[in-house]
Chains A and B, each alone.
Chain A
Amino acid sequence: MPEIFSKLGLDYKLIIAQIVNFVLLLIILQRLAYKPVLKMLKNRTDKIDKSLKQAKKIEEELKNTEETKLAEIKKAKLEAQEIIKEAYDTSEKKSQESLEKTRSKTQEIVEKAKQEIKAEKENSVQEAKKEIADISILIAKKIIGKNIDENKEKDLVDDVLRKV
């Protein structure tokens, strides 16, 4: 057996030296490199996970906000439309009312004026009648040439006028 070992170049001292070398490398690398790097990798993974989750949440919130905004805008639009319609209705009504009022007032004025005119006409007719009667009596007096009883005279005129 030892002959095979020496033929293969095996030497327990060398093997031990190599083992020591390797184990030292392992221990130092574990302390120096693996621990901090693995820790950092884990931290980063956690951080990325967290960030992704947060991003998702923010996106959702944004979507919600957008939806609310749209709904709000729609509502506002509807409300505005209603207000405009109401205002329009009111103004229409008011103008209609005022128009009606004006019309009735005009009617009234016209009526009044008509009545006044009628009264005036009546009056003037009455006056004219009276004047005519007076003139007629005067003419009659002149023609007849004598004075008749004042009352009788009036009755006569009235009679004549009625006949006319």
Chain B
Amino acid sequence: MHVSISPEIITTVFGIPITNTLITSVIATAVLLIIAYFATKRMREVPSGLQNLFEAIIEALFKMIDGVTRDRKQTYQFFPLVTTIFIFIILSNWLGLVPGFGSIGFFETAREGGHSSFVPLLRSANSDLNTTLALAIVSVFATQVFGIAALGIWKYGKKFINFSSPITFFVGILELVSEVAKMISFSFRLFGNVFAGEVLLIVIMTLVPFIAPLPFFALELFVGFVQALVFAMLTTVFLKMAVTAH
């Protein structure tokens, strides 16, 4: 049993290492796009089937964001980012639980002195710090963009660099540090939960292959949902804080 924090590199295209987590990200993206395409292909006033499900999810998320912002205009602004974060994270988390993830792969020799190691072809996208950090960067970057757009660059910048008094100056530095901390907490929270889940499932399945892993799968489904929700909610809250003048 070999568990590595870094994702396994399958191949390299144009100098970009294609890892198994990147493949999963692309698969998740493709699945989402396909679902979205079929759900909105023939939109009808009275929804049914896939359109109904899609509308229900979007409406629920819209209401959730609206509950935080309490401002219809801001909700419409934040909606695309937050919703995409939520559905992308939840789908990649749940995709990681599909049989075949982590089990279909090939053995790679020639590493570690002839010792062969198993390389899974697919691995849950968020069990890779690159993915979660990418999401965190997008989230935090978007926060700055929305903040500047809402308050103007000078007013927003005063939050971080302010010489009016020593106290505000240090508060500004703290704010700057907190932006970086946000990124780290975002990425490590999601990564930690999903990676731990993966490891847990591997361990349980190695110990007791049948029946026993079932409750853990249920738990991982729940964790996948909660982590997606947490990421989306925190992003919403940070966005709301950024566009609110202090």
Q: What is the interface of chain A, defined by CB distance below 8 A to chain B? A: 6-11, 13-19, 21-26, 28-30, 32-34, 36-38, 40-41, 43-44, 47
Answer yes or no: B37 CB below 8 A from chain A CBs: yes
Q: B29 touches which one: A14, A25, A32, A47 (CB < 8 A)?
A: A25
Q: A34 touches which one: B83, B129, B138 (CB < 8 A)?
A: B83
Pairs across A and B, CB under 8 Å, 25 listed = A8-B6, A9-B7, A9-B128, A9-B130, A11-B130, A13-B15, A13-B16, A14-B7, A15-B134, A15-B137, A16-B134, A18-B22, A18-B134, A21-B29, A22-B29, A22-B135, A25-B88, A28-B33, A33-B54, A34-B80, A34-B83, A36-B43, A40-B43, A41-B55, A43-B45
Determine the chain A residues whose CB is within 8 A of the CB of B33 once the complex forms. Answer: 25, 28-29, 32
Provide the bound-state CA to CA distance between A40 and B131, in Å: 33
- Interface class of chain B by DSSP: helix
Inter-subunit contact A21/B25 (CB<8 Å): yes
Residue among A18, A19, A30, A47 with most chain B CB within 10 A: A18
Chain A proximity mask over B101-135: 1 for CB below 8 Å, otherwise 0: 00000000000000000000000000011110111
Answer yes or no: B178 CB below 8 A from chain A CBs: no
Determine the chain B residues whose CB is within 8 A of the CB of A29 once the complex forms. Answer: 32-33, 36, 80, 83-84
Query: What 10 A-B pairs have minimum CB-CB distances, sorted nearest first?
Result: A9-B6, A18-B134, A33-B36, A14-B130, A26-B84, A30-B80, A19-B134, A25-B29, A15-B134, A8-B129
Known A-B contacts: A21-B29, A37-B40. Give 4 more (CB < 8 A).
A22-B25, A32-B36, A33-B36, A41-B55
B39 to chain A, nearest CB (A): 7
Answer yes or no: B76 CB below 8 A from chain A CBs: yes
Inter-subunit contact A44/B45 (CB<8 Å): yes
Residue among A7, A9, A26, A47 with most chain B CB within 10 A: A9
Provide the bound-state CA to CA distance between A69 and B107, in Å: 88
B85 to chain A, nearest CB (A): 8
A116 to chain B, nearest CB (A): 103
Q: How large is the interface on B (under 10, 10 to 19, 20 to 34, 35 or more residues)?
A: 35 or more
Determine the chain A residues whose CB is within 8 A of the CB of B26 once the complex forms. Answer: 21
Provide the bound-state CA to CA distance between A18 and B129, in Å: 11
Inter-subunit contact B58/A41 (CB<8 Å): yes
Determine the chain A residues whose CB is within 8 A of the CB of B17 once the complex forms. Answer: 11, 13-14
Inter-subunit contact B134/A36 (CB<8 Å): no
Inter-subunit contact A38/B58 (CB<8 Å): yes
Provide the bound-state CA to CA distance between A23 and B137, in Å: 11
Inter-subunit contact A37/B58 (CB<8 Å): yes
Provide the bound-state CA to CA distance between A9 and B6, in Å: 4
Answer yes or no: B153 CB below 8 A from chain A CBs: no
Provide the bound-state CA to CA distance between A38 and B54, in Å: 11
Determine the chain B residues whose CB is within 8 A of the CB of A41 once the complex forms. Answer: 55, 58-59, 62
Which residues of chain B (1-35) have a CB below 8 Å from chain A? 4-7, 15-17, 19, 22, 25-26, 29, 32-33
Determine the chain B residues whose CB is within 8 A of the CB of A7 once the complex forms. Answer: 5-6
Determine the chain B residues whose CB is within 8 A of the CB of A30 once the complex forms. Answer: 80, 84
Determine the chain B residues whose CB is within 8 A of the CB of A18 once the complex forms. Answer: 22, 25, 130-131, 133-135
Inter-subunit contact A22/B79 (CB<8 Å): no
Determine the chain A residues whose CB is within 8 A of the CB of B37 once the complex forms. Answer: 32
Provide the bound-state CA to CA distance between A24 and B6, in Å: 24
Determine the chain B residues whose CB is within 8 A of the CB of A28 once the complex forms. Answer: 33, 36
Provide the bound-state CA to CA distance between A26 and B32, in Å: 10
